[in-house]
């Protein structure tokens, strides 16, 4: 595994938080364009700290992802009306508060983007106290009451039929959900805030919880289509073959990054060791899991669903 920890300072934490979301979206769009998959090839965690430190942690698991390491800090955000609006929706959904920006917000974002990222391994220290406060502000809008609603994505498989495959299902579900989250956040301004697992005698399921402003999202029509498109894209880039190759590579002394054994144990009550993933993660078993898995979306009282089998036809 290769790890990059990028840091950048800016004039305010609120402005930095908006920039953080734009940069995260830019990274995901770039890596997706290279047919790389979140939680299989890479994982990104971004956060902004007071009074204005943007911190982006990037883990690169596969050689295909690691080959792009030198290009990641060079990615530039999209500073247009649509991209900034989506990022602002994400920030509002995260904080559950309405915000409004000054007229100079676009220039301020471009200025931040023009400052090079610094890799934490290459610097001695960063004193954020010495930075100059930005004149551009993103402020809470007290005239608007922001009401959010939760979108629940649930992937489920009958555990009774394939009890021995429940750990593999958990890995497959984590990867699929991570990429659905990215698509929904980038397209509609959702914010992913929690994951839940459930294991019963009849089924095993993993759920992702996202929220968005009720004013911005009314129905599930677009979300259902986006999830189908993203799942179809995953299946079309040799997902089965690539996941098998990665799990097989974990045998022996290979440095393990994903899956997290304890995460999988908590979801399934089965602890799989490094030597077990190659056999458990055969192409046949991955296909069996996919053919037995269904996705349900729930937003308020509205529901939608599809099976992975429908996409494999």
DSSP string over the chain: -EEEEEEEE-S-HHHHHHHHHHHHHHHHHHHHHTT--BTTTEEEEEEEETTTEEEEEEEE-SHHHHTTHHHHTT-----SHHHHHHHHHHHHHHHTS-EEE-TTHHHHHHHHHHSPPEEGGG-S---GGGSPPPS--EEE-TT----EEEEEEEEEEETTT-GGGHHHHHHHHHHHHHHHHHHHHHHH--EEEEEEEEE-SSEEEEEEEEEEETTT---SHHHHHHHHHHHHHHHHTTHHHHHHHHHHHTSTTPPP-SS-HHHHHHHHS----HHHHHHHT-HHHHHHHHHT-EEEEEETTEEEEEEHHHHH-
pTM of the full structure: 0.93
Contact status, residue 69 vs residue 4, Cβ threshold 8 Å: yes
| Mean pLDDT value across residues 131-138 | 62
pLDDT, residue 64, reads: 95
Which among 243, 221, 227, 245 is positioned nearest to 302, based on CA atoms? 221
| Mean pLDDT value across residues 237-252 | 88
Kindly report which listed range (90-104, 154-168, 232-246) carries the lowest average pLDDT score.
Answer: 90-104
pLDDT, residue 115, reads: 93
pLDDT level of residue 304 (50, 70, 90 thresholds): very high
pLDDT > 90 fraction of the chain, expressed in percent and rounded: 66
Summary mean pLDDT of the chain: 90
Contact status, residue 144 vs residue 98, Cβ threshold 8 Å: yes
pLDDT level of residue 253 (50, 70, 90 thresholds): very low
Q: Is the pLDDT of residue 144 over 80?
A: no
Q: Is the pLDDT of residue 256 over 60?
A: no
The domain made up of 2-140 has a fold known as Alpha-Beta Plaits (3.30.70)
pLDDT, residue 196, reads: 94
pLDDT, residue 76, reads: 98
pLDDT, residue 68, reads: 98
Q: How far, in Å, CA of 67 to CA of 196, rounded?
A: 33
Is the CATH number of domain 148-312 3.30.830? yes
| Mean pLDDT value across residues 267-287 | 90
Which residues, including other chains, have CB under 8 Å from residue 121's CB and lie 6 or more apart? 5
Q: How far, in Å, CA of 77 to CA of 95, rounded?
A: 22
Kindly report which listed range (54-58, 125-129, 268-272) carries the lowest average pLDDT score.
Answer: 125-129
| Mean pLDDT value across residues 187-202 | 93
pLDDT, residue 29, reads: 98
* Bridge partner residues of 49 (DSSP): 53
Q: How far, in Å, CA of 227 to CA of 205, rounded?
A: 17
Q: Is the pLDDT of residue 71 over 50?
A: yes
Residue boundaries of the structural domains of the chain? 2-140, 148-312
Q: Is the pLDDT of residue 41 over 90?
A: yes
| Cβ atoms within 10 Å, residue 134 | 20
Q: Is the pLDDT of residue 169 over 70?
A: yes
pLDDT, residue 293, reads: 96
Q: How far, in Å, CA of 25 to CA of 20, rounded?
A: 9
| Mean pLDDT value across residues 79-94 | 94
Q: Is the pLDDT of residue 254 over 60?
A: no
Of residues 254 and 96, which shows the higher confidence score?
A: 96
| Mean pLDDT value across residues 59-85 | 95
Which residues, including other chains, have CB under 8 Å from residue 158's CB and lie 6 or more apart? 202, 203, 292
């Amino acid at each position: 595994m290769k790890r990059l920890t990028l840091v950048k300072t800016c004039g305010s934490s609120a402005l930095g938080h908006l920039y953080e979301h734009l940069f995260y979206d830019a990274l995901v769009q770039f890596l997706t364009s290279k047919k790389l998959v979140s939680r299989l090839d890479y994982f990104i965690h971004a956060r902004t700290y007071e009074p204005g430190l943007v911190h982006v942690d990037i883990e690169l698991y596969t050689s295909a992802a690691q080959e792009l390491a030198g290009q990641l800090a060079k990615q530039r955000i999209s500073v247009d009306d649509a991209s900034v609006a989506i990022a602002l929706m994400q920030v509002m959904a995260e904080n559950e508060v309405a915000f409004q920006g000054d007229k100079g917000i676009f220039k301020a974002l471009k200025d931040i983007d023009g400052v090079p990222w610094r890799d934490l391994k290459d610097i001695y220290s960063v004193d954020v106290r010495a930075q100059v406060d930005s004149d551009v502000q993103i402020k809470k809008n007290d005239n608007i009451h922001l009401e959010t609603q939760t979108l629940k994505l649930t992937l489920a498989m009958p555990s009774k039929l394939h009890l021995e495959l429940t750990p593999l299902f958990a890995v497959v579900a984590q990867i699929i959900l991570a990429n659905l989250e990215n698509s929904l956040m980038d397209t509609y301004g959702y914010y992913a805030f929690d994951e839940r697992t459930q294991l019963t005698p009849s089924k095993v399921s993993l759920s992702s919880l996202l929220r968005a402003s009720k004013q911005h999202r009314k129905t599930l029509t677009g979300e259902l289509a986006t999830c189908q498109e993203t799942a179809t894209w995953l299946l079309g880039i040799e997902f089965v073959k690539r996941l098998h190759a990665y799990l097989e590579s974990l045998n022996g002394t290979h440095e393990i990054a994903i899956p997290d054994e304890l995460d999988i144990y908590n979801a399934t009550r089965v602890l799989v060791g490094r030597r077990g993933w190659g056999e458990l993660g055969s192409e046949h078993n991955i296909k069996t899991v996919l053919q037995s898995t269904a996705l349900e979306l729930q937003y308020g009282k509205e529901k939608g669903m599809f099976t992975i089998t429908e996409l494999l036809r």
